[in-house]
Amino acid sequence: MTRLGDSHKVEFKMKVQHRYHCLGFFLILIPVIVCAQTPPAQEPREFKHLAESARAEWPATPVRAAKGMVVSDEKLASEAGIEILQEGGNAVDAAVAVAFALAVVEPEAGNIGGGGFMLVRLADGNAKFVDYREVAPAGATRDMYLDKNGALDPESSVIGYRAVGVPGTIAGLALALKMYGTKRLPDVMVPAIQLAEKGFPISDRLAELLSESGPTLGRFATSRRIFLKKGSQYEAGEILRQPELAATLRRISRNGPAEFYRGQTAHDLAKEIQREGGLITLDDLAHYQAKIREPVTATYKFNGHDWQVITSPPPSSGGVAIIEALNILAPVELKSWEDPRSVHWVIEAMRRVFADRAEYLADPDFAPIPVRGLVSRCYADALRGTIDPALASTSHKIRAGNPAAYEKLDPAAGGCPQVAGGPSAPANDRAIDFALAETLHGGHTTHFSVVDAAGNAVANTYTLNDDFGSGVTTSDGFLLNNEMDDFTTRIGSPNMFGLIQSAANAVGPNKRPLSSMTPTILLRDGKLSFVTGSPGGPRIISATLLTVLNWMRLEMNAQAAINSPRFHQQWMPEGVVLEPNFSETMGKELEGRGFPIEQKRRWIGQVEAIGIDPKTGERLGAPDQRRKGAAASY
């Protein structure tokens, strides 16, 4: 939890202050809201010494292997996946093994107490999206995080039992395995159970995160005992054993997902949450359902090849955003990220897709989402027409567009007809400004990619939301998410990532909070080509989009596509974040074009990707060195 370390307590306080600064304006319903500018945050810590110290050593080329490849944040988890592949499992079997292993060795993000998305593309061409996003408990209400004056309680959607959504991970992994795997749960859970039982050496990064998250973890007795050694501090290299988690994993392995949703684990969880003032009941757990959805897809022709992008549908906002951005950028010449004009175009595309995200994206089972309009080529043409390639636009003047008008248009029927009223809709007429520090929030999610010998592929992103989620570890040894903060907890107030979201994403019983997680798979000339995705809250969308552009349009090698400098703009706030590995002159060039550039550079995302060499068919593992990712292969 970024806000939990000393420096980040400051950031958290700023978030709290920010919300109250905004409140006064909201109360008097001024249509254009300008919140007090918060002073800049202390230096964000996200991966700072890991990435900066090692930058010179970042590998320039990917890991090559003939058969199977797993790339994740943690070597031990990647190896768990390879173990399953070598035992004859397919990519889905391996992915489930990796997910369970990460729940042990990457406790800040890997999880069984959270949720996520798994995009599966089988070698036979079948592609499906397993949605195991958390849901709000049945007792949740739109205003549950507001006090009687309508002010947002800045803590309760973030820390502790009321922040927890009904976890989906166990249901999702079990469903994926049943539908697309070949092995049984007990087979693929062996590595995770062993890692929990025998323990594993704490990495530099985990030691650092545990220390920074100490103040929040320390508020919950089980978290304090397991992750803070009852109040002292784990050093890198010490062994972390998690016997309660091992016992829980054993029960799940034996009894299946029913253990988590109806069995002893469910009873323990519901009892603890109820006792501590949370909302989740046994009934909520019993009713949780992972869902299989159709991915969002789009096709392109670039560099003489036919490309298909297969990506995440709502309740992810990411796939729609990425396709909308790719459509805007399709006819635009992109040279490199040393070319200010190319960066300019992408920033302007990001600004527009994030404005649409803020207005239209939510749980599709609760609100109609104009997905067809948002990903329509004609709509993209209209949005592109609002971009000046020489001068930055300003978010205060950019509104969500009018995708509904493009829902029924068929570009194949010959050109894009004029749509009355143009691309801009008046619906989102707020303008909200706040310090970019809001968006510099860390938090953890984790993405991994798997390709097996047969060419089956999995892109999986799952999360507790913040580092160590809500800070609560249950008596059964697993951390609980704080995904409720991904809802629009108060209309017009930014969430922990600085995202403004719509009323359609308000808290509601059994509803999924909007996500940015975007597991994505690319085909080239009909064949598997690239598997990608990232953590990073809203920066997931930018990081994933950039890796897709790097691979599909700029033809970088798989590792260069990951190493390449990233940038981020999310409509509100105005600022553009550049990574530290961006060229020195780029900031100045962009400022000259009118972009406000955030002074403090920051690492963006952690993309664990796999490319396929089109000539040899080799799997190209491209771990991200920003968080020291690791490929394992055979």
Please report, as ranges, the residues that interact with ligand DON according to CB under 6 A: 443-445, 463, 465, 483, 486, 515-517, 535-537, 540
Alpha carbon distance, N-terminus to C-terminus of the chain: 36
Give whichever of 119 and 540 is closer to ligand DON, judged by the CB atom: 540
Give whichever of 132 and 582 is closer to ligand DON, judged by the CB atom: 132
Catalytic residue among 311, 386, 445, 532: 445
Q: Which class for 374: exposed (0-12), middle (13-18), buried (19 or more C-beta within 10 A)? A: buried
**Catalytic annotation present for 445:** yes
Give whichever of 203 and 445 is closer to ligand DON, judged by the CB atom: 445
Give whichever of 348 and 483 is closer to ligand DON, judged by the CB atom: 483
| Cα–Cα–Cα angle for 295, 321, 298, rounded to 5 degrees | 45
Residue appearing with tokens 């800070």: 471
Closest contact distance (angstroms) between CB of 584 and ligand DON is 27
Query: Residue 571: left if φ>0, alpha if ψ -120 to 50, beta else—which one?
Result: left
Give whichever of 319 and 443 is closer to ligand DON, judged by the CB atom: 443
For residue 176, what are its two tokens?
A: 């994926």
What is the per-residue burial (b if ≥16 Cβ within 10 Å, else e) of 187-218? bbbbbbbbbbbebbebbebbbbbbbbbbbbbb
> What is the three-class DSSP state of 230?
helix
Please state at what angle helix 75-86 crosses helix 190-198, rounded to 10 degrees: 140
Closest contact distance (angstroms) between CB of 514 and ligand DON is 7
Closest contact distance (angstroms) between CB of 330 and ligand DON is 26
How is the beta sheet containing 444-451 ordered, strand by strand? Answer: 291-293, 127-132, 115-121, 457-465, 444-451, 69-72, 630-633
Alpha-helix runs per DSSP H in 115-263: 169-180, 185-188, 190-198, 204-212, 214-217, 221-227, 243-255, 257-261
Give whichever of 110 and 537 is closer to ligand DON, judged by the CB atom: 537
Closest contact distance (angstroms) between CB of 116 and ligand DON is 8
Give whichever of 90 and 518 is closer to ligand DON, judged by the CB atom: 518
> What is the three-class DSSP state of 217?
helix
Measure the CA–CA gap between 174 and 172, rounded to whole angstroms. Answer: 5
Closest CA to 189 of 113, 256, 115, 289: 256
Phi and psi torsions of 429, nearest 5°: -100, 20
Measure the CA–CA gap between 177 and 486, rounded to whole angstroms. Answer: 27
Give whichever of 432 and 517 is closer to ligand DON, judged by the CB atom: 517
Closest contact distance (angstroms) between CB of 383 and ligand DON is 23
Alpha-helix runs per DSSP H in 330-433: 340-360, 371-374, 377-384
Closest contact distance (angstroms) between CB of 288 and ligand DON is 17
CB < 8 Å & 24+ apart, contacts of 21-30: 21/434, 22/432, 22/434, 22/492, 22/493, 23/150, 23/151, 23/152, 26/492, 26/493, 27/150
Give every CB contact of residue 114 below 8 A, 6+ residues apart in sequence. 134, 167, 168, 169, 462, 463, 464, 465, 469, 479, 480, 481, 483
Give whichever of 90 and 203 is closer to ligand DON, judged by the CB atom: 203
Closest contact distance (angstroms) between CB of 603 and ligand DON is 11
Closest contact distance (angstroms) between CB of 496 and ligand DON is 9
Is the CA virtual torsion 564, 567, 570, 571 positive or negative? negative
Closest contact distance (angstroms) between CB of 15 and ligand DON is 15
The catalytic site residues sit at 445
